[in-house]
């Protein structure tokens, strides 16, 4: 059974100033599996298994997972309903491509779309395998649908590492890694309505936005900015594309960010938590866009395969049956309040289970200190912001355990 250490009911505030806190950075082991290309700085942990909000390493050490493997383990680790559905589907039919019909595909797609139905809005889904692939497909749809070739995106947004996805990514570090520059892409300051109005015109195919910028430390814009995105897109005949690869499937306390502030985009990209960790992505499309798509224009061999569809259907069932949207809203608020009361926490940004926590401590050092205390968190592109992206099943008690560990790590409790 997962450890459910009782939460401190009140986060105690300390008067004394924070001691200097610069523990040695996490020792970066070479990747545990030899033979892999060295693309990620791995934490010095080799995991063995998981259950709910907890994971265990090969030495039996237990960690509270406030990161969910890059915001992926939406229903928690190895949820029995999801694991059972994947196993049952594997016994029934591991794979057949979309050259045939599949009942599980119809049921899963129907259920996904039932959460977003909006009058005259999104009614169809195109499935692929990764987030970057969803972005590529959505931008291709926008370009082909409008017959235009310009794309507007935003500073701080992250959209993936393929050629087009890295070009529309608004963080210099990742853009610089694109193999070459694609023409027609303009990156604007996030939240700047004036810059948006100036940049978008009748040559713009798509306005692409990550509504809560995760890599930037879970940054959000004012509600008027999202409405300006919709108005500017509509006014200029461009398509509004929401990258909901992290915000989608419950992470903000609603199934999608789309619909918030009265804004329904034309295209929605999903990945990460959609299959609880089974590789899957989707672009949700309005009827008008879908109608213009010809056979053969899009496709992915594995897209909408039976295993991925079974994983997605089970994920959506768990979210519904366990009232996980309400859980995210409730525990997210609890976390935000608790964080704000911890000495040393300078700001909390984001929403629901997408929270950036700013402190004076360098994020990698704080991450290392938390890992020492058995808690996994993420860093971000902001050197002083750690990211919390826990499984949607995280309970108040588990959130309390985290708050306690953070307070200890910041020197408030010894
Ligand atoms: C908001 C967002 N968009 C796109 C991507 C790219 O997804 P993938 O790594 O599955 O290609 C990511 C991945 O971190 C993401 O967070």
Name, in order, each residue with C-beta under 8 angstroms of 141's C-beta and a sequence gap of 6 or more.
239, 267, 283, 285, 289, 293, 298
> Degrees (nearest 5) of the Cα angle 311, 245, 180?
125
- At residue 116, the pLDDT reads 85
Contact status, residue 26 vs residue 370, Cβ threshold 8 Å: no
Reference 145, options 282, 293, 267; nearest CA is: 293
For a mutational test of ligand 1's pocket, the pick from 173, 246, 269, 279, i.e. the residue with the most ligand atoms closer than 8 A to its C-beta, is: 246
Say how far apart CA 382 and CA 240 lie, in whole Å: 27
Give yes or no for residue 19 having a pLDDT over 60: no
Q: What is the pLDDT of residues 214-265, one digit of tens each?
A: 999 999 999 999 999 999 999 999 999 999 999 999 999 999 999 999 999 9
For a mutational test of ligand 1's pocket, the pick from 127, 190, 271, 356, i.e. the residue with the most ligand atoms closer than 8 A to its C-beta, is: 271
The tokens for 374 are 């058995």
pLDDT grade for 134, boundaries at 50, 70 and 90: very high
Residue with tokens 């008008």, as numbered in its chain: 288
Q: Which atom of ligand 1 is nearest to the CA of 271?
A: 10
**Domains, the chain, with CATH or none:** 1-75+323-414 (3.90.1150.10), 81-321 (3.40.640.10)
Give yes or no for residue 24 having a pLDDT over 60: no
Beta pairing class for 62-65 and 375-376? parallel
Phi, psi dihedral angles at 141 (to 5 degrees)? -60, -45
Ligand 1 pocket list (CB less than 6 A): 70, 130-132, 135, 158-160, 210, 214, 243, 245-246, 271
pLDDT grade for 108, boundaries at 50, 70 and 90: very high
The predicted model scores a pTM of 0.92
- Ligand 1: distance of its center to the CA of 348 in Å? 23
Give yes or no for residue 14 having a pLDDT over 70: no
Reference 412, options 5, 21, 7, 4; nearest CA is: 21
Q: What is the pLDDT of residues 356-401, one digit of tens each?
A: 999 999 999 999 999 999 999 999 999 999 999 999 999 999 999 9
Burial of 71 (0-12, 13-18, 19+ CB in 10 A): buried
Reference 339, options 353, 327, 325; nearest CA is: 353
Q: What is the pLDDT of residues 142-187, one digit of tens each?
A: 999 999 999 999 999 999 999 999 999 999 999 999 999 999 999 9
For a mutational test of ligand 1's pocket, the pick from 132, 137, 379, i.e. the residue with the most ligand atoms closer than 8 A to its C-beta, is: 132
- At residue 41, the pLDDT reads 78
- Ligand 1: distance of its center to the CA of 214 in Å? 10
Name, in order, each residue with C-beta under 8 angstroms of 273's C-beta and a sequence gap of 6 or more.
68, 71, 72, 73, 74, 75, 248, 249, 250, 251, 315, 392
- At residue 17, the pLDDT reads 32
- Ligand 1: distance of its center to the CA of 224 in Å? 25
Nearest CA to ligand 1 atom 3: 159
Say how far apart CA 169 and CA 90 lie, in whole Å: 36
- Ligand 1: distance of its center to the CA of 160 in Å? 5
Say how far apart CA 157 and CA 171 lie, in whole Å: 7
Reference 201, options 146, 238, 240; nearest CA is: 238
- Ligand 1: distance of its center to the CA of 18 in Å? 36
- At residue 25, the pLDDT reads 42
Say how far apart CA 150 and CA 137 lie, in whole Å: 15
Contact status, residue 403 vs residue 339, Cβ threshold 8 Å: yes
Which H or E run contains 359? strand 354-359
Q: Which atom of ligand 1 is nearest to the CA of 272?
A: 10
Q: What is the pLDDT of residues 311-341, one digit of tens each?
A: 999 999 999 999 999 999 999 999 999 999 9
Q: What are the DSSP E strand ranges found in 135-265?
A: 150-154, 185-188, 204-209, 212-213, 219-220, 239-243
For a mutational test of ligand 1's pocket, the pick from 160, 242, 251, i.e. the residue with the most ligand atoms closer than 8 A to its C-beta, is: 160
- At residue 151, the pLDDT reads 98
Residue with tokens 């520059």, as numbered in its chain: 181
DSSP bridge pairs for 285: 124, 267
Say how far apart CA 242 and CA 321 lie, in whole Å: 27
What b/e string do you get for 122-148 counting C-beta neighbours within 10 Å, with b at 16 or more?
Answer: bbebbbbbbbbbbbbbbbbbbbbbbeb
Average pLDDT over residues 8-13: 30
Average pLDDT over residues 279-305: 94
Say how far apart CA 188 and CA 213 lie, in whole Å: 14
């Amino acid at each position: 059974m997962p450890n459910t250490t009782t939460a401190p009911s009140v986060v105690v505030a300390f008067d004394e100033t924070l001691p200097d806190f610069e523990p040695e950075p996490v020792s970066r082991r070479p990747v545990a599996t030899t033979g892999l290309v060295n693309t990620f700085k791995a934490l010095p942990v080799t995991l063995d298994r998981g259950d709910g909000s907890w994971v265990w390493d090969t030495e039996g050490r237990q960690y509270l997972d406030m990161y969910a493997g890059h915001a992926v383990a939406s229903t928690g680790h190895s949820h029995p309903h999801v694991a059972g559905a994947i196993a049952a589907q594997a016994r029934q039919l591991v794979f057949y491509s979309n050259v045939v019909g599949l009942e599980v595909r119809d049921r899963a797609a129907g259920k996904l779309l039932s959460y977003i139905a909006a009058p005259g809005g999104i009614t169809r889904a195109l499935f692929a395998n990764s987030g970057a692939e969803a972005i590529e497909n959505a931008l291709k749809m926008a370009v082909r649908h409008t017959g235009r070739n310009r794309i507007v995106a935003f500073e701080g947004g992250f959209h993936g590492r393929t050629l087009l996805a890295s070009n529309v990514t608004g963080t210099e570090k990742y853009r610089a890694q694109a193999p070459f520059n694609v023409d027609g892409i303009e990156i604007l300051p996030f939240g700047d309505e004036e810059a948006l109005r100036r940049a978008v015109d009748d040559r713009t195919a798509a306005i692409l936005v990550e509504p809560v910028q995760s890599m930037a430390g879970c940054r959000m814009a004012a509600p008027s900015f999202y409405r300006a995105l919709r108005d500017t897109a509509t006014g200029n005949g461009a398509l509004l594309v929401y990258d909901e690869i992290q915000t989608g499937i419950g992470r903000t306390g609603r199934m999608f960010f789309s619909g918030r502030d009265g804004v329904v985009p034309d295209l929605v990209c999903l990945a990460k938590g959609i299959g609880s960790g089974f590789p899957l992505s989707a672009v949700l499309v309005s009827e008008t866009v879908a109608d213009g798509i010809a056979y053969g224009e899009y496709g992915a061999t594995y897209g909408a395969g039976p295993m991925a569809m079974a994983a997605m259907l089970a994920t959506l069932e768990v979210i519904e049956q366990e009232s996980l949207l309400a859980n995210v809203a409730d525990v997210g608020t609890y976390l935000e309040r608790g964080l704000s009361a911890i000495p040393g926490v300078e700001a909390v940004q984001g929403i629901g289970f997408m929270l950036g926590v700013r402190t004076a401590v360098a994020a990698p050092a704080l991450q290392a200190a938390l890992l020492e205390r058995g808690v996994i968190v993420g860093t971000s592109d902001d050197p002083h912001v750690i990211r919390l992206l826990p499984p949607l099943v995280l309970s108040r008690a588990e959130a309390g355990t985290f708050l306690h560990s953070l307070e200890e790590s910041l020197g408030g409790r010894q």
